[in-house]
Chain A
Amino acid sequence: MYLARVIGRVVVTQVYPGLEGVALQWIQPLDERGEDMGEALVACAAIASGPGDFVHYVDGREGALACPETYVPVDAAITGFIEEAAVLGETIDRVRYLTEEVR
């Protein structure tokens, strides 16, 4: 699992059977300093998250297991909402993600 920030939503009408109604969100992985780590990607949302939220996501086959239908072509899914992440006792500031302009 990795840390990420939700930066947008993706709306898809024609989807593979089993993925209807599954929210897709555009997320930016973050490192332990809260800075961008690698390229942004699209993930299924297993929880009710939205742009600006600080989340963790799982990649690979496990992404599909977080979806309502588990035999679906999914390789990343948001698995939880993060209230607070602290590195060596210092909080990675969530407020920063909420107030920062969504790209």
Chain B
Amino acid sequence: MFLADVVGTVVSPVQTPALDGQTLLLLRPVTPDGRPTAKTRVAVDRVQAGVGDRVLVLDEGNGGRQILGDPKAPVKTIIIGVVDYVEKGEELAYDHTNALPLTKLGERS
């Protein structure tokens, strides 16, 4: 699992049947202090997350298929939680209530 910022939305009218009715969001994986760590990706949202949220993401096929309840779904990236805060030692590394808005490049200003 990893942390990511939701930076956008994806509208996909034609897709593999397992994805029908699922919300797709565009993610930028980040460290708790907001530095990008990996490639931008698209994920299925199962927790009603939105743009600007920091989320917990599962990127593993078997768990993903269990969540969708379809043993043959070609899906592995799934948003499974919205992060409230992250503690690093004694300090808060991220606190959603005090988080700065995302900028155009997907980073927090």
Contact = CB atoms under 8 A, between A and B. Distances in A.
A102 B72 CA distance: 33
A87 B14 contact: no
Contact of A56 (B8, B10, B39, B76): B10
Given A1-B75, A32-B8, A81-B12, A87 B106 contact: yes
B7 A32 contact: yes
Given A1-B77, A2-B40, A79-B74, A66 B16 contact: yes
A3 B24 CA distance: 11
Given A1-B42, A60-B61, A46 B74 contact: yes
Contacts of B77: 1, 58
A88 B7 contact: yes
Contacts of B42: 1-3, 56
Q: Interface majority SS on A: helix, strand, loop or mixed?
A: mixed
B26 A87 contact: yes
Interface residues of A, number: 37
A62 B75 CA distance: 6
Interface residues of B, number: 33
Nearest to A74: B74
A58 B42 CA distance: 9
A65 interface: yes
Q: Interface majority SS on B: helix, strand, loop or mixed?
A: mixed
Contact of B11 (A2, A60, A83): A83
Interface string A74-100: 000101111111111110100000000
B8 A62 contact: no
Nearest to B77: A1
B66 interface: no
11 contacts: A1-B24, A32-B105, A62-B76, A64-B74, A80-B14, A80-B24, A81-B15, A82-B10, A83-B13, A84-B11, A86-B8
